[in-house]
């Protein structure tokens, strides 16, 4: 056996045993029927997938799409000018980029919890507003759609800035100057020169924000409470309290199918993820 | 775009990114249980650091992170080296898909796997299942970081070594591995910090005796006001921040 094969063997075993086999089990479960006391068995059925045509569950799917879409658009709009600013700031570039990434690398859980601390009824915002007499009752800032959206944008924004920055960094600034010299307005330069060049970065950013937002569980759980159930929460719920594993498995695979379409869309031009 | 306006905008975004964590850290030093500022105190650090459940969870987290990091770093470095020499489509594709798989899906797939295994063997969920789960996601990060590093490296050193009579393994061990060292340390730190922070996957595959720090924090955050959470969070953010700055310094070397 060649050295290369020996080196690849442990990783192959981990990939098969801890990824491909578990995913196959989920696929099998999604086609089974739930037993009377939980568990799963025959007959095989497509009913678990059909339940997404039920408005109750279809709505969860649509809501997940909607909030992931909102997060993506906000992150691109908010991230693009900052990425541009960093590329144009000369020697301070590395520092500014690290300042974007630093909160990203620290704890996801803590960053989400920070918003619970700020937004809840006894949280900092409400305490300040009440102490200054602006309001007399705490505002319901937490456990709603807006709070989840805020949490998602907050945690995903660095993921959007990084790939946009890497494409803008390669942009030859003399092209922007040339456009200006030839009489283009800044807005024309933006749409005709800068954005076309930044498209691969924007596409990567959209993917990196959309996919985790679509499958989010922790953000909607901590900031949305019971009011903003997304597909990730549905999956978690079916595998824990509801004990309907076949339905949870079907929901997981629908999620995976969407993710794979996204992955295909980003990598079809031959760019590798790894 | 006028630079001043853009600069103002950038400042606002930086404030948005950092202020919540800064405020959290400030209030971890508040002596009051409520959100009113009542004066500086270390009482919540004392509360947090003397809580037996919290200390046990911290120990669990560190043990799990250590084991999964060591395994993932060794397996991932070897795999990245092999993939650098020659592509292996199915492994790269599987790793890419597992990288983008939502955490909750990874979590339930591993839970389903462990449950089937446990039906035949009389084992239970515990630290070992958490280590295996963490190994699976840490491995992808390690391969990603090391492969990126290898692609910037010069292959001719290894070729020269082999021309001079080194076996392929000797060339790997004496030439490539030492050159990869900063990348390996960076990858290990990334795996370690990711493992320490994971809640979603851990909470589903952990047993009763293997509660981790994120699980305790999550529980406290859900139960409501508890400034001890602010104190632990601050310790975590500062601790992870230091590890990350070290790993980025290493990344920038060579």
In residues, how long is chain A?
274
Closest residue in chain B to residue A215, using alpha carbons only: B102
Reported in sequence order, the residue ranges of chain A that DSSP labels E, i.e. its strands, are 33-34, 40-41
Cα(A86)–Cα(B72) distance, integer angstroms: 34
Q: What share of chain A is helix, strand, coil (3-state, %, to 5)?
A: 75, 0, 25
- B21–A263 CB contact, under 8 Å: no
Query: What would the CATH number be for the domain defined by B54-252?
Result: 1.10.3720.10
Distance CA A103, CA A176 (A): 32
- Domain A57-266 has what CATH class? mainly alpha
Is the CB of residue B248 less than 8 Å away from at least one CB of chain A?
yes
pLDDT band for B197, please (50, 70, 90 cuts): confident
Angular region, A231: left φ>0, alpha ψ -120 to 50, beta rest: alpha
Q: Are B41 and B240 in contact (CB under 8 A)?
A: no
Binary contact (B147, A274; C-beta < 8 A): yes
**Overall average pLDDT of the A47-54 stretch:** 82
Mean pLDDT computed over B67-76:
96
| CB atoms closer than 10 angstroms to residue B252 | 10
Radius of gyration of chain B (CA): 22
Q: Most confidently modeled of A131-145, A215-229, B70-84?
A: B70-84
Please, what is the average pLDDT of chain B? Answer: 85
Please tell me which of the candidates B113, B204, B218 has its beta carbon nearest to residue A109.
B218
For residues B224, B229, B230 and B235, what is the CA-based torsion angle, rounded to 10 degrees? -170
Which value, to the nearest 10 degrees, does the dihedral of the CA atoms of residues A20, A22, A24, A30 take? -150
Hey, is the C-beta of B233 within 8 angstroms of any chain A C-beta?
yes
pLDDT digits (tens, 9 = 90+) for B124-183: 888 888 999 999 999 999 998 898 888 888 888 888 888 888 888 888 888 888 888 888
pLDDT of residue A38: 66
B24:A114 CB<8 A: yes
**Inter-chain contact A4–B85, Cβ cutoff 8 Å?**
yes
Domain residue ranges in chain B: 54-252
Please determine, for the modelled complex, whether the ipTM score is greater than 0.90: no
pLDDT of residue B91: 86
Compute the nearest-CA separation of B209 from chain A (Å): 18
Q: Do B143 and A274 touch (CB under 8 A)?
A: yes
How far B29 CA lies from chain A's nearest CA (Å)? 14
Q: Residue B1: pLDDT above 50?
A: no
pLDDT tens column, B226-247: 788 888 888 888 888 887 777 7
**DSSP code of A52?**
G
Chain B residue with Cα closest to A75: B13
* B108, B139, B222: residue with CB nearest A26: B108
Among B residues 159-178, those touching chain A with beta carbons less than 8 Å apart: 168-169, 172
Arithmetic mean of pLDDT over chain A: 85
As a whole number, mean pLDDT of residues B87-101 equals 86
Joined together, the tokens standing for residue B60 give: 């669990």
Q: pTM of the full predicted structure?
A: 0.86
**Contact between chains at B20 and A255 (C-beta distance less than 8 A):** no
Structure tokens at A236: 């978690």
Confidence of residue A105 (pLDDT cuts 50, 70, 90): confident
Closest residue in chain B to residue A22, using alpha carbons only: B109
Comparing CB atoms, the residue among A11, A232, A259 nearest residue B76 is A11
Work out the average pLDDT over B184-211: 88
Q: Which residue shows structure tokens 């080196």? A: A7
The structure tokens 């509360």 sit at: B47
| A99 Ramachandran zone, left/alpha/beta (phi>0; psi -120 to 50) | alpha
Domain borders along chain A are 57-266
């Amino acid at each position: 056996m060649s050295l290369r094969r020996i080196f690849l063997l442990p990783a192959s075993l981990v990939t098969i045993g801890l990824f491909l086999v578990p995913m196959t089990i989920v696929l099998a479960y999604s086609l089974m029927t739930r037993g009377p006391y939980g568990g799963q068995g025959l007959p095989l059925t497509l009913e678990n997938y059909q339940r997404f045509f039920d408005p109750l569950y279809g709505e969860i799917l649509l809501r997940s799409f909607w909030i992931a879409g909102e997060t993506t658009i906000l992150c691109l709009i908010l991230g693009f000018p900052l990425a541009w600013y960093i590329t144009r700031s000369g020697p301070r570039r590395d520092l500014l980029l690290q300042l974007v990434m630093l909160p990203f690398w620290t704890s996801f859980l803590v960053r989400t919890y920070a918003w619970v601390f700020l937004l809840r009824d006894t949280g900092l915002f409400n305490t300040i507003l009440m102490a200054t007499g602006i309001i007399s009752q705490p505002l319901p800032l937490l456990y709603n759609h807006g709070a989840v959206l805020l949490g998602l944008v907050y945690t995903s924004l660095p993921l959007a800035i990084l790939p946009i920055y890497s494409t803008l960094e390669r942009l030859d600034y003399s092209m922007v100057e040339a456009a200006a010299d030839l009489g283009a307005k800044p807005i024309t330069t933006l749409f005709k020169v800068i954005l076309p060049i930044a498209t691969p970065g924007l596409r990567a950013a959209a993917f990196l924000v959309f996919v985790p937002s679509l499958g989010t569980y922790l953000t909607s759980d901590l900031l949305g409470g019971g009011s903003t159930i997304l597909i990730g929460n549905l999956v978690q719920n079916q595998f824990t309290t509801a004990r309907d594993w076949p339905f949870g498995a079907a929901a997981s695979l629908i999620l995976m199918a969407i993710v794979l379409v996204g992955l295909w869309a980003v990598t079809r031009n031959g760019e590798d993820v790894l | 775009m006028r630079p001043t306006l853009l600069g103002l905008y950038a400042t606002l975004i930086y404030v948005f990114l950092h202020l919540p964590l800064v405020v959290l850290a400030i209030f971890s030093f508040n002596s009051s249980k409520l959100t009113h500022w009542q004066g500086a105190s270390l009482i919540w650090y004392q509360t947090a650091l003397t809580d037996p459940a919290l200390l046990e969870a911290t120990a669990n987290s560190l043990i799990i992170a250590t084991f999964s990091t060591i395994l993932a770093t060794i397996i991932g470095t070897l795999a990245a080296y092999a993939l650098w020499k020659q592509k292996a489509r199915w492994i790269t594709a599987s790793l890419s898909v597992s990288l983008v798989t939502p955490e909750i899906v990874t979590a339930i797939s591993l839970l389903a796997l462990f449950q089937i295994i446990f039906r035949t063997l009389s084992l239970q969920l515990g630290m070992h299942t958490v280590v295996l789960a963490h190994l699976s996601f840490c491995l992808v990060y390690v391969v990603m970081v090391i492969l990126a590093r290898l692609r910037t490296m010069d292959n001719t050193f290894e070729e020269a070594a082999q021309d001079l009579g080194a076996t392929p393994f000797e060339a790997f061990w004496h030439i490539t591995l030492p050159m990869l060292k900063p990348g390996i340390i960076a990858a290990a730190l990334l795996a370690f910090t990711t493992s320490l922070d994971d809640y979603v996957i851990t909470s589903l595959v952990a047993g009763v005796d293997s509660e981790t720090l994120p699980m305790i924090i999550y529980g406290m955050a859900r139960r409501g006001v508890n400034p001890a959470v602010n104190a632990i969070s601050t310790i975590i953010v500062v601790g992870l921040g230091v590890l990350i700055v070290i790993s980025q310094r290493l990344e920038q070397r060579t």
